[in-house]
Structure 1
């Protein structure tokens, strides 16, 4: 009898304790987003038992897990009965905000992922961000001291990524450019001042220093030579870039040109910038939020280019990766009825200069609207097996390595590299806008005014400007940010 009574008492105590545990289980309340003049605030209300709160916030990029955010911070003191994290970054009307929260409550840690909020739907002031609608419960982790929010997440996991002159940790943000200020950051970017090499796919442009930084955006707007003044004739005169020229291989071709006969001055003035002197990497994930150009015979340059031509000096012997590419025509079809204009997005590698091979290592996706209508997030993940491509978080294709064994491969030196050769070395970032050229617009495109193999290609392109210049209503490439993550 005494034994039974003793067991009943123990059961009662355990039941009471269990009931107290359930009764006081903490649930993270909805996060509030408050827009401010110089940034924004995220916060949750204070409750007795909260010891600290960490917020992780991303703009325009969903979290794939409880990972480091673009903006992260741990708050150790409540203010006016709220736990507040302030971010000194203005939000734009087309931004989408993603948040997850980590709360230490009575020595336990609780995590909750919030649903996304579109800033355009915020009328003013404070918005409460509801919890995810998929009925997932907050993650609870028992620990005495939660890890600090840190770019390396305290534990440096091994990574495939190699960065010039330093190590990295998997998931680390290793490069970020938000184009703040009023001019290009010369410690990260340099202009290319040159004409393209006279190779099989040279564009019809002069690259110069005509990019601008406005409202936290990079803007590159191509212009017709001499602003199409009647007195500006690309068939006469000479061009000498002098000491400003940044020729890669041949200064006679890239820095100087005398117009005569079929040789003309570049019909289009534009810009091209790169990180070659400051940042390069091998393997990683690149994200570019950009609004692509709209206008016939234009195309954006969102590229990774080789730091060194380890596989030879021939065009594309060491490869080029295209994070995103469109032919910016408002309407463009081939003679077979294939759509090739700005509603079709491509990503991939260029390994040969000829136009007939341009799509060999490309994947694509299409939309009802031109990709230059609004901003999109273009992503390339490059590892030791393949290239993978996303737009706005949606994967649309991948390209496996083994290029040396591919029937279109043309460089035996690639067999000396690994599975991804020639894409197995460090590459740098290039941004720009180009026009025309011998390699990116197939000859079977309807209404195309030049032939790729014609020595008069650039001249014929320029002569047709009465047809295409009216389509250049939004010809600029506008870039919000560039980020690179270790993988």
Structure 2
């Protein structure tokens, strides 16, 4: 494995490993416990205008033989091809008080500027109502999905957005990957970690705090289970796969200084610690997205859509004969999760 990061192990690692931590969350998926996992219900396509919609459906999130699967499926298999293309409607509004949605309704065709309905159905699970931590450790034992334009992620978001809207309150991407077998900008032999932070969505400085690991032995991260983890303290944050460091960020300067922001920007972190915005509670998210137009899948010759296309989602779906055969059979197209453990450094055991 080749580690291609922006830092090397330092004193922070030793201190973090020796710090007392308390196991506050553990799931080995003997059953699907929805008291631990909350579904996000949305048609919004995430922050990257992805091509899926997220729902609470046992076709997309389910437990079998002690494994949690998050599996993308085709909307047309449920609603029909004509519904996706013209005049169809998806309505996620619910009369149940416990069910809330965002981007709750979408119509296909002329009413939406000519765009199809989201052609992929998937799931995003989060622990926003069950557990969040400020400093500690997260580990997820998982096998990644196989298939072109599939985008699995293990990540964390702030529970309270204390410093403002994204990315001012931070984002911790423990693991992201692309299910493509062959793609010049990263594929199923690569996993990446990133911290997102900035004074405004136009000033996200993720490029200063990102790194990746690459398998060099001919295998892929879809072949077997690996342990993806994150250690986090007041001194810094480290991500790893199978205990090999991917990303290491030492909190030895403020993020306003790290980003080189001018005085024209108001410092959103001036009331926080040196580690702000990474000094507040974050919760865990597991999801499988597909496609998107903001750059995670840069344009190249064989990609069936262009990120600047007005109807990128249509181009993606119309070229499904190119990408659908690459999706793994059965549950091979799913993110498979063996177990999840979360430790808190601020909780007494």
User: Fold conserved (TM > 0.5)?
Assistant: yes
Q: Where do residues 338-487 of structure 1 align in structure 2 (5 Å cutoff)?
A: 340-351=186-197, 359-368=207-216, 369-401=219-251, 402-407=254-259, 412-473=267-328, 474-487=332-345
Change (3 A) 1:442 1:230: closer
Q: How does 1:189-204 map to 2 (within 5 A)?
A: 189-196=37-44, 199=47, 201-204=48-51
Q: TM-score, normalised by structure 2?
A: 0.80
1:289-331 CA distances to partner (integer Å, 9 max, x unpaired)? 0001111111112111110122223x33322111111111111
For 2:302 and 2:195, how far apart are their aligned partners in 1?
Answer: 27
Assess, with a 3 A threshold, how the Cα gap between structure 1 residues 170 and 356 changes in structure 2: closer, same or farther: closer
Aligned CA distance change for structure 1 residues 359 and 449 (closer, same or farther; 3 Å): farther
Q: Give, in whole Å, the separation in 1 of the partners of 2:208 and 2:54.
A: 27
Residues 52-85 of structure 1: CA distance to partner in whole angstroms, max 9, x if unpaired? xxxxxxxxxxxxxxxxxxxxxxxxxxxxxxxxxx
What are the Cα deviations for residues 142-167 of structure 1, in whole angstroms up to 9, with x where unaligned? xxxxxxxxxxxxxxxxx99xxxxxxx
Give the aligned CA root-mean-square deviation in angstroms.
Answer: 2.6
Q: How does 1:328-343 map to 2 (within 5 A)?
A: 328-334=179-185, 340-343=186-189
**What secondary structure sits across from 2:313 in the alignment?**
helix
Cα offset, 1:255, TM superposition: 0.3
Once the two structures are superposed, residues 346-402 of structure 1 have per-residue CA deviations (whole angstroms, 9 ceiling, x without a partner) of 112123667996544211110032211110001111112322121112223312343
Deviation at 1:262, TM superposition (A): 3.2
The answer to whether the 8 Å contact 1:355/1:438 transfers is no
Three-state SS of the structure 2 residue aligned to 1:321 is: strand
With the length of structure 1 as denominator, give the TM-score of the two structures.
0.58
1:205 aligns with 2:52: yes
8 Å CA contact retained: 1:293, 1:476: yes
Are the counterparts in 2 of residues 355 and 441 from structure 1 also a CA contact under 8 Å? no
Q: How far apart, in 2, do the equivalents of 1:361 and 1:330 lie?
A: 26
SS of equivalent to 2:270: helix
Write the distance in 2 (CA, Å) between the matches of 1:198 and 1:172.
32
Query: Is the contact between residue 356 and residue 442 of structure 1 (CA under 8 Å) also seen in structure 2?
Result: no
Query: What's the CA shift string for 1:116-152, capped at 9, x where partnerless?
Result: xxxxxxxxxxxxxxxxxxxxxxxxxxxxxxxxxxxxx
State the Cα distance separating 1:407 from its structure 2 match: 3.0
Q: Which residue of 2 aligns with 1:98?
A: none
Contact 1:225 / 1:232 at 8 angstroms: preserved in 2?
Answer: no
Alignment match, 2:9 = none
* Structure number with larger C-alpha Rg: 1
- SS at structure 1 position matched to 2:84: coil
CA distance in 2, matches of 1:428, 1:356: 20
Unaligned residue ranges in structure 2 (runs of 5+): 1-14
Q: Is the CA contact 1:238–1:265 (under 8 Å) kept in the aligned structure 2?
A: yes
Residue 258 of structure 1 is matched in structure 2 by 107
The answer to whether 1:304 aligns with 2:156 is yes
- Residues 188-214 of structure 1: per-residue CA shift (max 9 Å, x gap): 111111122675x22211101130011
**Aligned twin of 1:222:** 72
How far off is 1:440 after superposition? Answer: 4.8
Q: Which residue of 2 aligns with 1:240?
A: 91
CA distance in 1, matches of 2:44, 2:215: 32
